[in-house]
Chains A and B, each alone.
Chain A
Amino acid sequence: MAMIVSISTSGLKRSKWWEFMLRFVLGGLVTAGAGVLSKKCGPGFGGLFLAFPAILASSVTLVEKHERERKQQKAMSGSIRGRLAAGADAAGASMGSIALIVFAVCVWQLLPDHSAWLVIGGATLLWAMVCVTVWYLWKRNLLRYRSIHSSD
């Protein structure tokens, strides 16, 4: 079963300096904003914004742009390809969100009685394990579904 995750620097090479700046500024603004909201409205309301999707919104927009530009270099429109790539990126983010729920439950339950750095570090590790597991199961079922339907 071909299920390869690879590392490639091509995505980084396609990014422009202002795209890195945009992500930095967005990340900084959302983090600062969540802190301000917690102070003004209490941690119960401010905590919601720890899962604000500003980064996902910028990420899918940049993925679409990069894919479109890649196709345009080959004299194709690339508009549809870009949107499909952005859709795949968002599908991955939905699996990451499931793991993010597990992360939040873990921190909420364990933080008051245990070492903060151990809990936050452990919850991050758990996030990585859960999202890779969910992705693996999704990919395996997708490949199985395709192999059944291609043999019909």
Chain B
Amino acid sequence: MSDIIVRFFIGGLVVSVFSIISDLLKPKTFAGLFGGAPSIALATLALTVISEGKQYAATEARSMILGALALLAYALVLSHVLLRFRRSALRVSMVLLIFWTGMATGLWYVMAS
């Protein structure tokens, strides 16, 4: 339980720092780079190395490649829909979370089998 609480606070802190840096930068496309920042990865990998060891963290990083590929597709589709069809950012970004989950788990399933 204490491990989850530590992860929660460190994860929240790292994500907040990246968000603040992003808020400070202009233009929007440059600030947006931080939407693909390794914020969750930094917090998770550091804590995993301490608790589970380097090999365990490396396995997480290998799967993260697939998650990042799905994130790339997510961001490209999100950007295209917002710029071309000008839909609500909240609605599109929430619906596309299903797309990300499907693509990431699908890639993982293909690679694992």
By a beta-carbon cutoff of 8 Å, the part of chain A in contact with chain B is 5-9, 11-12, 15, 20, 23-32, 34-36, 38, 43-57, 59-61, 63-64, 80, 82-101, 103-105, 107-108, 111-112, 116, 120, 123-124, 127, 131-132, 135, 138-139
Contact = CB atoms under 8 A, between A and B. Distances in A.
Nearest to A44: B63
Given A47-B59, A53-B100, A80 B35 contact: no
A99 B36 contact: yes
From B19, B78, B89, name the one whose CB has the most chain A CB atoms within 10 angstroms. Answer: B89
Given A50-B60, A92-B32, A100 B83 contact: no
A24 B13 contact: yes
A32 B82 contact: no
A63 to B, nearest CB: 7
Contact of B32 (A6, A89, A112): A89
Interface in B13-63: 13-16, 18-20, 22-49, 52, 54-63
A85 B89 CA distance: 10
From B5, B8, B66, name the one whose CB has the most chain A CB atoms within 10 angstroms. Answer: B8
Size range of the interface on B? Answer: 35 or more
Contacts of A132: 33
Given A50-B45, A96-B37, A5 B25 contact: yes
From B14, B62, B76, name the one whose CB has the most chain A CB atoms within 10 angstroms. Answer: B62
A61 B24 CA distance: 17
Contact of A96 (B3, B36, B93, B100): B36
A59 B22 contact: yes
A64 B4 CA distance: 32
Contacts of A57: 93-94, 96-97
Given A27-B15, A120-B46, A131 B33 contact: yes
A91 B34 contact: no
Contacts of B90: 61, 64
Interface string B72-98: 101110111111001111100110110
B89 A86 contact: yes
A116 B46 CA distance: 8
A32 B66 CA distance: 20
B83 A107 contact: no
A82 B91 CA distance: 14
Given A27-B12, A120-B45, A51 B67 contact: yes
Contacts of A20: 16, 19-20
